[in-house]
Amino acid sequence: MKGASRKHDPEGSRAAILDAAEQSFLARGFAGASMSEIAKASGVTKSLIHHHFGSKEALWREVKRRRFAGYFEQQMALFASGGPSAALLRESMRVYLQFLRDNPDTVRLMSWLQLEGDRDVTQMVGELRDAGIDHVRSAQEAGVLRKDVPAPFVLMTFLGLVNAWFDDPANDDATAEAYLDCAWALFSGGLLRAAEPRA
């Protein structure tokens, strides 16, 4: 039986729980997701879920951590690869767009976070946001980006331009590169120092 086999495969049961939990959270949000439903879908008991994760809240945090882990590592490596430049900023935008294209459910996950007013972001998401803001500030100090726009707002604009591509279901892989070029043109045209009006 599936439940019995899970007992002898801790890593397999943990992965199955996370897979089932992710689908449940994506479909119903944190408040609507049921631990009983997750247990049934993953083929384990509720007590085993509590053994692995402790609580529904902890399970939700781990789902979010797992979803963002690869992207976190890729972006942090990019930030560490060189000093501030327009080329690095554009590559960061491409990496983010590719991450969302490879993980389309992430947009729905973000929607639930906003809808439910989720403030319990994982440590890595907070670190990535801080690193992004620091990189924007470095670019401002280096004269790559204009200084009169607060760095957190610059990051919000950066992320929002990429997220907007997913608002239209008609968008597909064929249009992604063209949209990336357009998004970068809008971002750089409004924020690069060269675009500042001259007195």
What pLDDT, on the 0 to 100 scale, is given for residue 21?
A: 95
Contact 134, 75 (CB under 8 A): no
What pLDDT, on the 0 to 100 scale, is given for residue 35?
A: 95
The residues of the chain scoring below 50 in pLDDT are 1, 4, 195, 198-199
Report the predicted TM-score, pTM, of the whole model to 2 decimal places: 0.73
What pLDDT, on the 0 to 100 scale, is given for residue 79?
A: 92
Domains of the chain: 1-54 (1.10.10.60), 68-194 (1.10.357.10)
What are the tens digits of pLDDT across the range 138-194?
A: 999 999 999 999 999 999 999 999 988 888 877 788 888 899 999 999 888 886 655
What pLDDT, on the 0 to 100 scale, is given for residue 83?
A: 86
Contact 190, 142 (CB under 8 A): no
Going by C-beta distance under 8 Å and a sequence separation of 6 or more, which residues neighbour residue 147?
140, 141
* DSSP class per residue in 92-148: HHHHHHHHHHH-THHHHHHHHHHHTT-----HHHHHHHHHHHHHHHHHHHTTSB-SS
